[in-house]
Structure formats: C-alpha cells, structure tokens
C-alpha cells in the first residue's frame, strides 16, 4: 500500500480485540493531537513546577503554551551539563524533575567525546512500553498470521556503569530489556521470540549472540520475521553465522552447548531448549558452506515475511547488503525513538524504505519544531527562533525536533532533522532526513566534523619527525565489509622523500585517530565489535585539486568550494580510489572501558 492511502484511510480491521484497542488509541491520539499536546505540556509543567529549572525561569506555575514559550529558552545538551553533572554526582534535589531520577540513559550522541547522559524517571518506562504495544497491532494490519510463528530478533544488553553519585548509566534498550516490563511480559501470540530472556540478558556479547543464533536455527521453520534494532545489528548477526556455523552445527548435531558459553543460567536454559538434530545440522552445514551467501536469510528461514530493522537515516547505507542476504525481503522500520524520549511509529511499516514516515505520538512528550534552514547563520538573542507546534508544521518543510519531556528536558534540541510528508488525522508524519552534524556512522557511532578534524590533527603529529604533513583529507564510511569501517583519505606533503613515513608509522596514525574518536566509536571497536579497524588511504599529490576541478565542473562555485570532509558519491569515490598509493589499517584496538574518561 502506498504511503498516501495509509494517511487518508482509517487504519484498517484489527487482528484481535487487543489490537482494536491499540488502534483506537492511535486514532484518538492523532485525531486530538493538539489538545493532547496542550494537556501533555500542562501535565509536565504542573508535575515539575517546583523544580529548580522551571523556577529559574520564573514560570510561576503557569502551564500554558504562551508563558512556556516566552519564558523558557531553547537549549542543547551542553546547556544542561552543569545540572546533569550535579545529578550524576548525587544531588537528589528536584533539579530538572520533581520525580526522582531513576537512572541515566546513555545516548549514542556524544558531548566532549563521552556519551550524553539523559536523566530519566520510572514512569517513562510505561510510556515507552505503551509505544512498543502499538507496533504489532499496526504490523498485523499488513502481515496476517504473525501469531502462527515466532520472531528471530537479535537483541542485546550492553555494559552499564554507575555515576559518582551511584545512579546507573546504561543505554535505553539495556534498561528496557532488564525491566520487569520486558522480562515478565505476558504471553502474546503475536510477539513470541525465538531468543529466551537469558540469552538476550547475557552481558557477554559472544555468548548472547551464539545462543540467540542457535535458538533461531533450531526454530528455523517457525521464524516469520527476522530483526534487530538497526540494520547494522542484523548484518553483524549474519557475519557471526559466517564465522561460527561450524560450531553451531556441531552443537545442533549433538544437542550439547559449546563450552565457550559459560554463563550458568544461560547454560541451564539452553539445556532445556537444545535437542540433537543431525538433519538440521546437515542442512546448516550445506547452506553455510556454499560459496555464495546470497539469499541466506530466506534459505535458512524460509518462512520469513519481512525484516524488522531500522533502515532509515544513517542505516540506509545497509539496504543493498540486506537485500542481497534476504533476496529483497520487505524491510519494516517500525519506530522512531531516542534515549531522551520515544517519539512515534510508522503506520505503514511495509512501505519502501525511501517512503518511511514516522507519526509522532502526541502523548509521548511536548513537541516543537524549529524550522530548518541549512543556509541561515543560526539564531541570535535579537532574532530568537520561532518554533512551530506539532499540528502546525507544513508539508514539505524541514524542521529540527525540540522536545519537552516528563523527565525534565525543556525545549531540548534533539539534533534530528525531519521533513513533513503528510498527516494522519491531525498528527504530522515525518521523514527522517538526517542527524545534524554527523559525518560518519557505521553502527550507533556518530562522528562529526570537529571530531574527525581533531583525530586527523592528533594522528598527523606522528608525521612531524618525518617532515610530513597532511595537506588535505576526506572520509568515507565503508560498509561493504562487515563490520564496516572508517576510511580516511590523506594527501600528504612529504618534504624529505628519503625519510618518508613507513607503513608502520601510518598504521600508528590509524590507531591514533581511533584513540581520538568518541567513546561510542571506541566501544563499537572494542566491546561490540561493530566497527572494523580504521583505514588510511594515502592518495597521490594533486588528488584533492582534481576533486575540486570535478566539483566545479559539476557547477560548484570556485569561491565557495570547500573540501567535503565525507564523501559517498560514486564518481568521487572512484576518482579517489584510482589515486590511492598505499593503504594502512589500524593494528590494534583503541582504549575503551565502560567508565567515562572524565
């Protein structure tokens, strides 16, 4: 079904009574988007009226939009750093939220190289749960029979730390999977996973992936959908199968679990699930030992109706690879969410990735939209930004998302740029355009221009003793390999050819760049194995001038030309690659621990 018809038609006949309730809820929220928003703002401002933050701006218990908009500034994470640091250090007073901060959610966005810490409160879990509960009722409208089998989802928990004041700091999904909402969820025939909780909750990523894959293989005929949160995660699972199918088949054949799985509760749980199945073992060996892995997902899980993975935003780069492994199965992007707040869902999840629009649910937070003009210089004290309310955004225009949450973020810029594609009732639907200031991304890492610049500067110090400098650079996220990796093109000025930097030195430069990257990047390299070693490709002298000539030949202004710090346009890649004189990979892992560096 096309996006348009989903917007204009009612959602459709529900699969069961529970779904009917969920769909009615979506209709109610989206029909009354503006009044729901007004109520949400009033609830938040009432709940938090005595917080230090709202008192500072002299809101005097007002709960209306006008007072709120005239008194509270639009802010970014950096503006809240002092408050967040105090909470992290153990100040339990009502700084941002009247409700106690239950934990910090560690965002994949960074500030000063470290993950952002998002304060959250207990009741937010209910709100997230509510959004999750709407996903299957919508999916059931498009894909019948999902109660006749299972979902193979690769879901993981990540490491958690405590702040100096003793609050937990962990990713939002880790928080959710470890919550009672998830662990003791009631049986729902439409939402049965092949992975047992013990496998999802095992903090060792190898053991977790190994057992989830084993369960998925064992249940292969029952699997109706295959997924992970992001496309990169699903491809990592395929890569894992490529590396481990021999051992996995061995376990299936004998019904015994690989000794590398040491977690006692996981071993006990798998002991009850694993049964010797020589025929299945033969099948897995046969399929996995074929030279081509094209269509491997549908070969192993022949009843898969769709892939459930986010392929919008930075993840769009993985669409061709997913199509290759799945024979072009539909890719459902079901929701749009962040550590700060869960935003909304896709009401037409089986549409093409390029047509995905997310409907923001007006009950999740109070939403405002900052018109996005890529050419404007930003706003000043004299010309403050004019923010638009949820129901007032205009089709075709781009906006930056600004949220006010129950946990105490007020007029907070999320950093996402969205374009309005239409409306469902009075709730707008948004195409995710991009995240502001992100140059490179392989998994959940987000590297911006300043971080890349710093990394190049740090690495190029190693070249000084060779009288060599980096005259120009650009970058590329290479996702043809799994895991993908950063490629940095360097044009060097070597002043003393007899003493030019060796392969070893350039390898050390790769590592120095990795050491300079933010903690999400380094965690991806070290703990998650979701990013491969960084590569430097040294190009011939004059290459960047050729790049400029090419851009000018295509209409760029010579006066305004700037070297692109990230490239992905095929002719430019071809030009760069044809000028490569040497390639070098990082020889080791950078440093990373769950603890913050500062």
Would you tell me which residues interact with ligand AMP (CB under 6 A)? 107-109, 172, 310, 312-313, 333, 336-339, 414, 416, 432, 435, 444
The 3-state secondary structure of 163-207 reads CCCCCEEECHHHHHHCCHHHHCCCCCCCCCECCCHHHHCCCCHHH
In terms of Cα–Cα distance, which of 528, 437, 550, 454 is closest to 484? 528
Q: Compute the least distance from the CB of residue 258 to ligand AMP, in Å.
A: 32
Give the number of other Cβ atoms within 10 Å of residue 147's Cβ: 15
* Structure token digits, residue 32: 């009354």
Closest CB to ligand AMP among residues 326, 334: 334
Q: Which helix (H) or strand (E) segment is 115 a member of?
A: strand 114-120
Q: Compute the least distance from the CB of residue 509 to ligand AMP, in Å.
A: 29
Q: Compute the least distance from the CB of residue 300 to ligand AMP, in Å.
A: 26
Q: Compute the least distance from the CB of residue 312 to ligand AMP, in Å.
A: 4
Closest CB to ligand AMP among residues 336, 473: 336
| Burial of 436 from C-beta contacts in 10 A (0-12 / 13-18 / 19+) | middle
**Cβ burial 81-105 (10 Å sphere, 16+ → b, else e):** eebbebbbeeeeebbbbbbebbbbb
Closest CB to ligand AMP among residues 156, 210: 156
Closest CB to ligand AMP among residues 318, 489: 318
Q: Compute the least distance from the CB of residue 407 to ligand AMP, in Å.
A: 13
| Burial of 542 from C-beta contacts in 10 A (0-12 / 13-18 / 19+) | exposed
Length of the chain: 598
Within a 13 Å sphere around the CA of 99, how many CA atoms are in the beta-carbon half? 18
Closest CB to ligand AMP among residues 198, 308: 308
- Compute φ and ψ for 358, nearest 5 degrees: -105, 135
Q: Compute the least distance from the CB of residue 560 to ligand AMP, in Å.
A: 28
Helix (H, G, I), strand (E, B) or coil at 130: helix
Closest CB to ligand AMP among residues 238, 360: 360
Q: Compute the least distance from the CB of residue 547 to ligand AMP, in Å.
A: 29
Q: Compute the least distance from the CB of residue 511 to ligand AMP, in Å.
A: 26
- Compute φ and ψ for 260, nearest 5 degrees: -70, -20
Residue 113 CA, distance from chain mean position: 17
Closest CB to ligand AMP among residues 336, 486: 336
Closest CB to ligand AMP among residues 142, 432: 432
Give me the residues paired with residue 307 across strands. Answer: 226, 331
């Amino acid at each position: 079904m096309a996006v348009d018809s989903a917007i204009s038609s009612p959602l459709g006949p529900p699969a069961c009574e529970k779904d009917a309730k969920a769909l009615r809820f979506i209709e109610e929220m989206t029909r009354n988007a503006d009044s729901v928003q007004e109520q949400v703002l009033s609830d938040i401002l009432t709940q938090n009226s005595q917080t230090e933050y709202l008192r500072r701006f002299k809101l005097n218990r007002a709960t209306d939009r006008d007072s709120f908009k005239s008194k509270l500034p639009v802010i970014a994470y950096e503006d809240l750093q002092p408050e967040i640091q105090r909470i992290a250090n153990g100040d339990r007073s009502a700084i941002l939220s009247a409700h106690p901060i239950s934990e910090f959610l560690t965002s994949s966005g960074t500030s000063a190289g470290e993950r952002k810490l998002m304060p959250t409160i207990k009741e937010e879990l209910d709100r997230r749960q509510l959004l999750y509960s709407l996903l299957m009722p919508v999916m059931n409208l498009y894909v019948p029979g999902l109660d006749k089998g299972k979902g193979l989802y690769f879901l993981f928990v990540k490491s958690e730390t405590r702040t100096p004041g003793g609050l937990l700091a962990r990713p939002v999904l880790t928080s959710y999977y470890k919550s009672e909402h998830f662990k003791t969820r009631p049986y729902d025939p439409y939402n049965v996973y092949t992975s047992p909780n013990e496998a999802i909750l095992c903090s060792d990523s190898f053991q977790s992936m190994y057992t989830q894959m084993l369960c998925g293989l064992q249940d292969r005929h029952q699997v109706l959908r295959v997924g992970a949160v992001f496309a990169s995660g699903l491809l990592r699972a395929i890569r894992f199968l490529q590396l481990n199918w021999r051992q996995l088949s061995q376990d299936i054949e004998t019904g015994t679990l690989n000794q590398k799985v040491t977690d006692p509760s996981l071993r006990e749980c798998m002991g009850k699930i694993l049964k010797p199945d020589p025929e299945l073992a033969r099948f897995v060996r046969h399929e996995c030992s074929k030279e081509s892995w094209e269509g491997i997902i549908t070969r192993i899980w022949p009843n898969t109706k769709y892939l459930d993975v986010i392929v919008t935003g930075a993840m769009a780069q993985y669409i061709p690879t997913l199509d290759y492994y799945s024979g072009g199965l539909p890719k459902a992007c079901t929701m749009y969410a962040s550590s700060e707040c869960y935003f909304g869902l896709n009401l037409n999840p089986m549409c093409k990735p390029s047509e995905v629009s997310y409907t923001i649910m007006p009950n999740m937070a109070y939403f405002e939209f900052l018109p996005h003009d890529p050419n404007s210089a930003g706003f000043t004290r004299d010309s403050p930004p004019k923010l638009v309310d949820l129901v007032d955004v205009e089709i075709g225009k781009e906006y930056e998302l600004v949220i006010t949450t129950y946990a105490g973020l007020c007029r907070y810029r999320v950093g996402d740029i969205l374009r309005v594609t239409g409306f469902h009732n009075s709730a707008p639907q948004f195409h995710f355009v991009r995240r502001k200031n992100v140059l490179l991304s392989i998994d959940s890492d987000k590297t911006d221009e300043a971080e890349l610049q710093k990394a190049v500067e740090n690495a190029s110090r190693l070249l000084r003793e060779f009288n060599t400098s980096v005259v120009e650079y650009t970058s590329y996220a290479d996702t043809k390999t799994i895991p993908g990796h950063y490629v940095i093109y360097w044009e060097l000025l070597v002043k003393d050819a007899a003493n030019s930097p060796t392969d070893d030195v350039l390898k050390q430069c790769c590592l120095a760049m990795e050491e300079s990257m933010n903690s999400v990047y380094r965690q991806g390299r070290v703990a998650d194995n979701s990013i491969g070693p960084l590569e430097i490709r040294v190009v011939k002298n004059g290459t960047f001038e050729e790049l400029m000539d090419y851009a000018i030949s295509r209409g760029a202004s010579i006066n305004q030309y700037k070297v692109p710090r990230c490239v992905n346009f095929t002719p430019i890649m071809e030009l760069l690659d044809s000028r490569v004189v040497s390639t070098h990979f990082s020889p080791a892992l950078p440093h990373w621990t769950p603890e913050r560096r500062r």
